[in-house]
A and B are shown apart, each in its own frame.
Chain A
Amino acid sequence: MKTVLYIGAAIAAAALLALPIFGDLGTMNLVIKIMIAAIFALGFNLLWGQAGLPSFGHAAYYGIGTFATIYMMNAIDRGGWFPTPLLPLVGAGAGFAFGLVAGWFATIRSGVYFAMITVALAELVSAIALKWEGLFGGEAGIRSIRTDWGPFSFQSTTSVYWLTLIWMLLVMAFLFGLQRSPFGLVVRGIRERELRVRFLGYDTHRVKTLVFAISAAVSGLAGGLLAISDESASMVLFQGSGSAFVVLNTVIGGAGVFLGPVIGAALTTSFAYFGANLSHFWMLYLGIAFVVTVMYAPQGIGGAIAQRARAVKAGEKAAFGTGDLIGIVAFALTFLGLIFLIEITGTICSEQYRASIASAKGVWPPVRLLGYDFNPLSPLPWLIGLLSLGAGIAIVVAQPHLRRPRLLDLVTTKAEAGK
Chain B
Amino acid sequence: MSATTLSLSSVQKSFAMVRVLEAIDLDIAKGERHALIGPNGAGKSTLFNLISGAFAPTSGSIQLNGASVAGLVPHKLNRAGLGRSFQITHVFDKLTVRENIRLAVMGRFGKRWSFLRRGAVWDEIDRETDALIAGANLSPQSETNAGDLAYSEQRAVEICMTVGTGAEVILLDEPTAGMSREETAHIITFIRRITEGRTLVMVEHDMDVVFNLADRVSVLVNGRILVTGTPSEIRSDARVREAYLGDGEH
Interface residues of A (CB under 8 A from B): 177-178, 181-183, 185-186, 188-189, 192-193, 195-204, 417-419
Contact = CB atoms under 8 A, between A and B. Distances in A.
Contacts of A188: 92, 94-95, 99
Contacts of B161: 196, 200
A195 B116 CA distance: 25
B75 A203 contact: yes
B95 A189 contact: yes
A390 to B, nearest CB: 41
A203 to B, nearest CB: 5
B84 interface: yes
A90 to B, nearest CB: 22
A196 B90 contact: yes
A195 B73 CA distance: 11
Given A181-B115, A188-B94, A201-B75, 15 more contacts: A178-B115, A185-B102, A186-B106, A188-B92, A188-B95, A192-B94, A193-B91, A200-B78, A200-B104, A200-B107, A201-B78, A203-B75, A204-B75, A418-B144, A419-B148
Contacts of B111: 182
A202 B161 CA distance: 13
Contacts of A182: 106, 111, 114-115, 117
B92 A189 contact: yes
B238 to A, nearest CB: 39
Interface residues of B, number: 36
Contacts of B92: 188-189, 192-193, 196
B194 interface: no
B79 A201 contact: yes
Contacts, number: 82
Contact of B165 (A178, A201, A419): A201
B74 A195 contact: yes
A189 B117 contact: no
A202 B93 contact: no
A203 B77 CA distance: 11
Nearest to A178: B115
Among B94, B106, B145, chain A packs the most CB atoms within 10 A around the CB of: B106
Given A200-B165, A418-B148, A181 B79 contact: no
A419 B148 CA distance: 7
B143 to A, nearest CB: 12
B115 A183 contact: yes
